[in-house]
Homo-oligomer: A and B are copies of this chain.
């Protein structure tokens, strides 16, 4: 957490950066609430990983917005963009605050759990192990939504995040799947990813 990470310069446009920041911040809130609900260190750690990504996107976005402003009118209109980006950054900070509480191991107060319990669909994290049936399958071919009522909303592959993966995305060993769905479906997804379940019912 304390070691400073070099921010990779990638040619990300202001538009792409903002869209990704918005999507990530929404996922982070849901993940943070699920982390608190289940007192899950794993989910909390994913939130903190995502926060690093949002922070670098915020940096890239501000830099590109400055480079793009050629006159006062440009600058005024771009301030709207950087303000919205700063708002998504604030949301991701809030999610990280919740994740940090989970990692502190003081235990989640029952009041917090009760406030978050009403969420019908929950987020879960599943790591794809060597003998999982998911390996080398395309996301679309798994038909997870139809078969077990679960959506893969993000895949973390090492340090890379694939948000809202397309149907063509191929799952590889070691992928961390972030999924949303009803509790039963989510449990089945975990079993399948970890190789404990070999077939979908």
Majority-rule SS of A interface residues = helix
Q: Give Cα distance in the complex from A14 to B112, angstroms.
A: 10
Given A83-B98, A87-B94, A88-B94, A109 contacting B77 (CB threshold 8 A)? yes
Are A97 and B112 closer than 8 Å at their CB atoms? no
A84: chain B residues at CB < 8 Å are: 36, 97-98, 101, 112, 115
**A6 interface contact, C-beta 8 A:** no
Taken residue by residue from 112 to 129, chain A's Cβ proximity to chain B (1 for < 8 Å, 0 otherwise) reads as 101110100000000000
- Number of A residues contacting the other chain (C-beta, 8 Å)? 40
Are A90 and B80 closer than 8 Å at their CB atoms? no
Give the number of times this chain occurs in the complex, counting copies.
2
Are A106 and B94 closer than 8 Å at their CB atoms? no
Taken residue by residue from 13 to 40, chain A's Cβ proximity to chain B (1 for < 8 Å, 0 otherwise) reads as 0110011001000100100110010000
A108: chain B residues at CB < 8 Å are: 80
Are B91 and A18 closer than 8 Å at their CB atoms? no
A94: chain B residues at CB < 8 Å are: 87-88, 90-91, 94
A interface residue numbers (CB < 8 A to B): 14-15, 18-19, 22, 26, 29, 32-33, 36, 76-81, 83-84, 86-88, 90-91, 93-95, 97-98, 101, 104, 106-109, 111-112, 114-116, 118
